[in-house]
Structures are given as structure tokens and as C-alpha cells.
A and B are shown apart, each in its own frame.
Chain A
């Protein structure tokens, strides 16, 4: 029988190596051995995803690889998550994320969501081609701490500014940080429309969220 450390290593390596089946098998073995699900997630799956992020940052891994790593991570999460003790999401920092109306390119958004979840944020994913008012409605509904918007198209980037205005009109702007990203987006554009921050990729998005929300 494998030790806890060996199984955690298998979970982590399985994520980095993009081996969905291996991760699922290791997760089941880990549970059957009676080890706590929380550690399996944090020290196994999340550790693997963090290593994948590091490889992405070092340009060893590309979008293709990170997508497969995240699939492997989710295969393990599906098995371990039901065994977590009940914890309310109310204690977590909550973010709303989506691709703005008119655009259906969501791979970048999905990667940002995965990285933010991996970092411990509670993310409400609105999907792609999201009506602009929904960002505000859902931010209010979930008492969100931040809103992340992305787009890959110059024809739809104006929607981000509209959401910021809508947040102001709803009286939420002071309570909610706004992060934006996507192909045509830049820091200059973020400054111009009054967003709190811009990040170039998913790894940077985590750093930005932590900075904006004063998390060490």
C-alpha cells in the first residue's frame, strides 16, 4: 500500500503529466486508504496545477498542455470533492467571471477561472457571450469581491466599460474590483475605462487578484 506522501506525489505528477486516468486512480486509492480529501486536493491536485502554471510561465507548457492538466485536476476533484467537510463558500473571496457579450472565445477565461479556483477563490462562472447586465446582477447576488471580464475581439471590448458604468449605477463599484484581460486588452485600456487591473495571462491574473484584494 502506498503512503500518503506517495499518493500525493502521484496526484501532483498525474496533473503535471496530464494523465487523467492516473489521477482518478490515485485519488480513489488515496480515499480508500482513509486519507483526508482536503490534503489530497491541496497538496496533490493543486500542487500539480501550480507546477503546471510554473511551467506555463517558463514557456515550457502552452495552452494545450494547461488544458489537459486542468482536465486531469478536475478528474481528481470529482472524486475527492464529495468527501470534503461541508464548508460554506461565504467565507471565501468570491469572483464573478465571464466573456463579455458578443464573444464566444472562452479558453482564456476558463484558464483564468481554473487558476483562481486553484488559488482558493470561489469563482462564479457566467460562461461566454454574457449579457453585460448579468455581470452586475450576479455580483450583487453573490456579494462578489471582484469581477473578471475577458474578450478576444476588438468589436466587443467596449462592453467592459459598459459593465463598469453599470456597476457604478448599481452602487457596487466601490465594493467590487474589476479585472480585465484578453487578446486586444492592455493596461492602457484598463486605465482608460477605469478597470482596477489588467492581466496578460492566467498566472498573472492570480497575482493581480491577490494584489487588488490585499491577499498576501
Chain B
């Protein structure tokens, strides 16, 4: 049987593996399980490593999330006032015109404290668990632009001022690509790009096509050319725009709010899949048996060609009972036996 990192690599390269990695995308669960606050864990490589490794071992899933990288908006726009006139330091809600873009500071990844913390975390995790896949959550240029503009102004710009939104995406693209290169050099197994604000719960396919697609296609290609493996998290309704996401060169899609079988049938020969146990209605609220049955079926629907990673459909809630996570792990192991002997 392949090792875990080897299996994830094979899946993301579209070759298929002889096992089903169970990467539960549990971020807030380990942090809260160990009694930390989010900022506390994000600022301490030791605490982050302790809770991620500890929870993974206790519950039996695979993979370690080294953290969420928000350093770009912080470094470029943290000095600017937001729409309420306050300087929050996080770079949220600070760009509302073309002139504002000129006020952004240059990005220097080597001087970014958040990146230094993240790199230290990756180093500690790798020492602790050399065989576990490590990934980092970070944002595509459009998501960084969304943060810098603030949710409401960004949504409005996607309809009324698309040039502004696109100009901001272009402006931050180099910063995203540079950050990804540093993380690849640090040895992460894949980069995980969440896109919760660009699905059908929020914007139309037309807006996606006009404001998001072009930037994602270009940036992801640059990131992949450097050797990164990319998992695109289509968080929300993407059924009407998977064909657009397909052009964005993701090595896998971490899907949600859809049916794995349906996506597998339509796109399974072109992209590997990750997902898709509903984190709230099944993992958190379901019984152990319901979780087992759902997870087992996910594996049977998604993993026949060995190109599937079992996961929740988003971040696993800290309120999720341990036995439910363990049931999902058991289901994947049982499915593995049936599918791969």
C-alpha cells in the first residue's frame, strides 16, 4: 500500500492511489479541542502543531493543516482605514476605488511575520509527522481582492464596477504567486484554495465568468508551473459553473453542496475529487451509523478509480462528536478493502 503522502501525490497527479486518504479538513475543531483561540493558535507554531497533530492522532484521520495564510491583505492593506474609518490592521474593507489601489504597500514575502510563523509550523509538523500530508489554506487573488474590498463593496463591484475588482485581482496576483512558491519550497503537499464567496449562494455564473475566472486561470497556472499541487474548494453551489472551474487547473476539487457521484460522472476523468460529507447535517448532527453510511457511499461513488480523498464538505465543526469522525475513518478503511483489496 502507498504511503499517505505518496497516495495524495498520486491522486493530485491524476494517477490514482490504492488507498483513500481521509483528510478531514479539520481546522477549528483541533484548535478548540485544545482550548486555544484562533489567533492564539495561528500565532504559535508550537500550539498549532500540538493541536493539529494531537487531534489527528486521537481521531485517526490523515493530513495536517498548517494554517490559514492571510498575510497578503494584512501586509499590503493593513495600514489603511476601513470604511468605518478604523485601521484594523488586517487589510479588510480598505480598497474602494482605483486610487485606493495605489495606496497599497508593496508585498515582501520574506518580511511577512505571518509567513514566518507558517513556515515554522510546517517545519515542526514535518519533524513530528514526516509521513503525513501537510497543506495550507490560502486565497486566490480574487479572494484577496474580496478581503481588501470588504464583502459588500466587493459584491457590488462585481456588478457595477468590475474593472475595479479585476484591477485589484491583477494587483495582488504576484503576491499570491510568490507566497505559494515559498510554501512549495517549504514542502507542503498541497495548497488549498477556498472560494466560498464565488459560488451560486452569492454570485451569478455571469459574475464568476467576468470577475473570477480569468484571474484564477492565470494565477493558478503560474502557481502550478512552479510545481505546486492545488486543491480548489468549491464552497457552495458550483453545479452551474464547474465547467468554468475546470479551466482553472485545479489538481483536485474539494466539493460541497453537490453530489459526489454526479460530479464524478461528469468531471471525474478530468479532475480528482475531495469531499463531501456535509459537516453540519451529517458529521455534526448525524448519528455514528448515519456518518458511516454516508462516508462509505461517498467512497464508493468517488474512489473507484483511486482518485478520491474523503473529507467533510468544509471545515469540520468543533461541535462534532469524536465518534462521528472515527466512523468516517472506519468507513473509508472498509471501502478501501472493497475497492482495492
A residues within 8 Å of B by Cβ? 18, 59, 62-65, 67-68, 71, 105, 107, 110, 153-155, 157-158, 184-186, 188-189, 192
Chain B: which residue is nearest A200 at the CB level?
Answer: B201
Q: Name which residue of chain A comes closest to B240, CB basis.
A: A59
Whether A186 lies near B204 (C-beta < 8 A) is no
CB-based nearest B residue for A60: B204
Q: Which residues of B contact A192 (CB under 8 A)?
A: 285
What are the residues of chain A within 8 A of B281 when measuring CB–CB?
186, 188
A-B contact pairs, 21 of them (CB 8 A): A62-B200, A62-B207, A63-B203, A64-B155, A64-B158, A64-B202, A65-B159, A65-B204, A67-B152, A68-B156, A68-B159, A68-B160, A71-B156, A105-B151, A155-B28, A155-B32, A155-B38, A158-B319, A186-B280, A186-B285, A189-B280
**CB neighbours of B156 from chain A (8 A):** 64, 67-68, 71
- Please state if B280 and A18 are interface contacts (CB–CB under 8 Å): no
A155 CB to nearest B CB, Å? 5
Interface-central residue, A65, A110, A153, by most chain B CB under 10 Å:
A65
What sequence of 0s and 1s flags, for each residue 141-169 of chain B, a beta carbon within 8 Å of any chain A beta carbon?
Answer: 00000000001100110111000000000
Chain A residues positioned under 8 Å from B280 (CB to CB): 154, 184-186, 189
| A154 and B29 alpha carbons, distance in the complex (Å) | 9
Tell me the smallest distance from the CB of A204 to a CB of chain B, in Å: 14
Q: Of B32, B159, B318, which is within 8 A of A64 by CB?
A: B159
- Interface readout for B319-330 with A: 1 if CB under 8 Å, 0 if not? 100000000000
Main SS class of interface, B: helix
**CB distance A64 to B203 under 8 Å?**
yes
B6-33 near A? 1/0 per residue, CB < 8 Å: 0000000000000000000000100010
Chain B min CB distance to A187 (Å): 9
Which residues of the other chain, B, contact A62 by a CB distance below 8 angstroms?
200, 202-204, 207
In the assembly, what is the distance between CA of A10 and CA of B32, in Å? 53
Min Cβ gap B55→A in Å is 15
**Do A188 and B28 touch across chains, with their CB atoms under 8 A apart?**
no
State how many angstroms separate the Cβ of B233 from the closest Cβ of chain A: 14
Closest partner residue, chain B, to A66 (CB atom) = B155
Kindly provide the distance from the CB of B128 to the nearest chain A CB, expressed in whole angstroms: 25
Q: Does B279 contact A (CB under 8 A)?
A: yes
Contacts of B317 in A (CB 8 A): 154-155, 157, 184
With a cutoff of 8 Å between Cβ atoms, the chain A residues found around residue B183 in the complex are none
In the complex, the chain A residue whose C-beta lies closest to that of B317 is A154
**Contacts A62-B203, A186-B285 given; 5 further ones with Cβ under 8 A?**
A67-B152, A67-B155, A154-B315, A154-B317, A184-B284
Residues of chain B within 8 A of A68, CB atoms compared: 156, 159-160
Please state if A18 and B160 are interface contacts (CB–CB under 8 Å): yes
Tell me the minimal C-beta distance from A186 to chain B in angstroms.
5
